[in-house]
Each structure stands twice: as C-alpha cells, then as structure tokens.
Amino acid sequence: MEQIARAAALLGAGICMGIGALGPGVGEGFVAGKACEGIARSPENSTLIMKTMLVGQAVSESTGIYSLVIALLLIFAT
C-alpha cells in the first residue's frame, strides 16, 4: 500500500509541474508582449516599462515556483 502511495506521489509530481507551468508561461508572455508594444510606442519611458515588466513577471512566476516546490516535495519528501 505504501508503494502505491509513493507511485501516486510521483505521478502527481509530474502532473503538478506540468499543469502548474501553463499559467505562468502564458501570463509572462503576455506581460512581455505588451512591454514590447509599450517600449515601441513611448521609448522615453523604456526603463520604467522594463522595470514594471520584470516585477510583473516575477509575481506571475511565483505560482510556477509553488508548483516546483510541491513537485520536489512529492518526489523527495514522501
């Protein structure tokens, strides 16, 4: 029974990281796409736009990192 639980944890780790990477990937891409647009339209604000883009992407990344942490816990701590 313990080994079945271990097997389910490993499958769960794969599903967790797989689906968990969907949202951050799409979201960060949208942030960067709009940043390209903003920098092209008003280049004088490029540092401000770049800063906002990086902060926004870092926040979007957090859920990806949560998935990574949970996946690593499922692999090594169960």
Partner 1 sequence: MNFSTDIIHIAAFLGAGLSVSLASVASGIGVGYIAEEASYAVMKQPNAKDQMFKTMLIGQAATGTGGIFSLVIALLLLFGGLDNADGGWFKVTALFSAGIAIGFGSIGPVFGAGYAGGQACKSIGRMPKKSNEIMGNMLIGQALAQTSSIFALVIALLLLYSTPQQANFPGITLGGIITKSLALLGAGLSIGLGTIGPGIGIGNVAGRANDMLGRYPKQRPNIMKTMFLGAAVSESTAIYSLVISLLLLFAVK
Residues engaged in binding partner 1 (CB under 8 A): 2-4, 6-8, 10-15, 17-37, 39-41, 43, 46, 49-50, 53-54, 57, 61, 64-65, 67-68, 71-72, 75
Positive/negative CA dihedral, 23, 17, 55, 51: negative
40 vs 77: CA distance, rounded Å: 48
**Least distance in angstroms from the C-beta of 19 to partner 1:** 5
**Least distance in angstroms from the C-beta of 39 to partner 1:** 5
**Least distance in angstroms from the C-beta of 69 to partner 1:** 10
Positive/negative CA dihedral, 66, 70, 71, 76: positive
